[in-house]
Amino acid sequence: EVQLVETGGGLVQPGNSLKLSCATSGFTFSTAWMNWIRQTPGKRLEWLAQIEDKSNNYFISYLESVKGRFTISRDDSKSSVYLQMNNLKEEDTAIYYCTWFAYWGQGTLVTVSS
């Protein structure tokens, strides 16, 4: 059974950082292209970043508006993908999902507020 479990969300002040983790199981992680997608309080879905697999040199793509603040990474030995988020803004408040193909985790809530 495919599972994706996000952790690391919480309440953070504007300007601070947070690192999200996504632990996976049930599929061959090392060849999977992994994504982070967020859902705003208004229910809008926003794709953030993708990291490809080793055969594609771990090529990374970002949404322009988070490039330079967010960093996606992966650890194939742990079947995990990460999202480092720096200089957080109130508009980054959302549920953050990691996804692989048809599969989504349950999401982790990030609230940016003073």
Partner 1 sequence: DIVMTQGALPNPVPSGESASITCQSSKSLLHSNGKTYLNWYLQRPGQSPQLLIYWMSTRASGVSDRFSGSGSGTDFTLKISSVEAEDVGVYYCQQFLEYPRTFGGGTKLELK
Residues in the site for partner 1, rule: CB under 8 A?
35, 43-47, 50, 61-64, 97, 101-102, 104-107
Considering the complex, state which of residue 12 and residue 48 has its C-beta at the smaller distance from partner 1: 48
CA distance 39 to 94: 5
Considering the complex, state which of residue 62 and residue 82 has its C-beta at the smaller distance from partner 1: 62
Cβ atoms of residues 84 and 19 within 8 Å = yes
Closest distance of CB 3 from partner 1, Å: 12
CA distance 21 to 85: 11
Considering the complex, state which of residue 50 and residue 80 has its C-beta at the smaller distance from partner 1: 50
CA distance 17 to 43: 23
CA distance 8 to 46: 19
65's tokens: 């508006």
Considering the complex, state which of residue 15 and residue 47 has its C-beta at the smaller distance from partner 1: 47
Closest distance of CB 13 from partner 1, Å: 27
Closest distance of CB 110 from partner 1, Å: 15
Closest distance of CB 92 from partner 1, Å: 16
- What are phi and psi for residue 41, nearest 5 degrees? -60, -25
